[in-house]
Amino acid sequence: MDQLVPTEKYSPYRIFSAAEWAHFRADTPLTLTEDEVRRLSSLYDPIDLDEVRRIYLAMSRLVSTHVEASQLLFEQRRVFFNTDNAVKTPFIIGMAGSVAVGKSTTARILKELMARWPSSPKVDLVTTDGFLFPNEILRNKGLMERKGFPDSYDVGALLRFLSGIKSGQPNVRAPLYSHLTYDVLPGEFVTIDRPDILIFEGLNVLQTRELPQDGKAVPFVSDFFDFSIYIDAEESQIHEWYITRFMRLRETAFRNPDSFFHRYSKLSQDSARAIAEGLWTNINLRNLKENILPTRPRADLILRKGADHLVEEVALRKL
């Protein structure tokens, strides 16, 4: 994580080893069982109870302090404005990082830990996949080879969803996505009804846009976040994880005739690997370098993974 530390004196982050970070768990109880952790983790992103103890309990404790501070500020603002009918807005956590780096597992584990706090908050999880343009639109726009890039998302729908959540609106709908068909599910939604905490996970959630010349407001997705997390790893490791995942899916999910990638299950091992390498180089690596990695310094918390998928280093933005 050297890029984050130009000098020790001027870095905006405090850097901790995994062992140092584990001490910040303090007395936070472990509320997950081994079976639950196994269910929440991805086959391609192994995690166990030891990793939950080392990294996730301290992270849950840290986020809880931010949520409590936000709630206190909300109450102080209510007093300031002398109103009794203010709508408390959800605390939104943005989670970013490359494909195959383990965002989904981290989001699911954090969601379960936070939902089991003594206060029993309502915690929801939404991914940005449903906000991709449908494949038909991507094909018409010539964007199928840029799926996952910022221009492949319906940014207006993203902003309307987050604005509705942050405004405390009830029953805000987010479109659903199928990784089997590799497309948005037409007419299918998940309804989010005023959670205490929302985790919003996706490749480019920390992405900025060009600023207008006239100074008019141009909202970013991240403008709605109260806290942000970036899952990080060496490029070579993410590459290896992506290829390994693709080759395993070729033997499992890709065998389903309804799978968008079913044709790859019929290829030879060498041909399938060549396809995976091409997808990595031409799409996912480009997206990582051009759009995802440049947003890493915007995160409040960065989890840096090693070759075994376990977090080796944690960077926390200074207050």
- Looking at residue 5, what is its pLDDT? 54
- Looking at residue 218, what is its pLDDT? 78
Taking the C-alpha atoms of residue 88 and residue 175, their distance in angstroms, rounded to an integer, is: 24
- Looking at residue 212, what is its pLDDT? 75
Burial environment of residue 213 by CB neighbours within 10 A (0 to 12, 13 to 18, 19 or more): exposed
The CATH topology of domain 12-317 is Rossmann fold (3.40.50)
Q: Tell me the per-residue pLDDT of 249-274, one tens digit each, with 9 for 90 and over.
A: 999 999 999 999 999 999 999 999 99
Q: Tell me the per-residue pLDDT of 54-81, one tens digit each, with 9 for 90 and over.
A: 999 999 999 999 999 999 998 898 899 8
Cα torsion through 310, 318, 4, 53, rounded to 10: 0
Q: Which residues of the chain have pLDDT under 70?
A: 1-9, 43
Are the beta carbons of 165 and 198 closer than 8 angstroms? Answer: yes
Q: Where are the alpha helices (DSSP H) in 5-56?
A: 18-22, 34-40, 49-51
- What lies within 8 Å, CB to CB, of 288 at 6+ separation is 98, 99, 235, 238
- Parse the chain into domains and list their residue ranges: 12-317
SS3 202: coil
- Looking at residue 7, what is its pLDDT? 56
Write down the pTM of the prediction.
Answer: 0.94
- Looking at residue 4, what is its pLDDT? 58
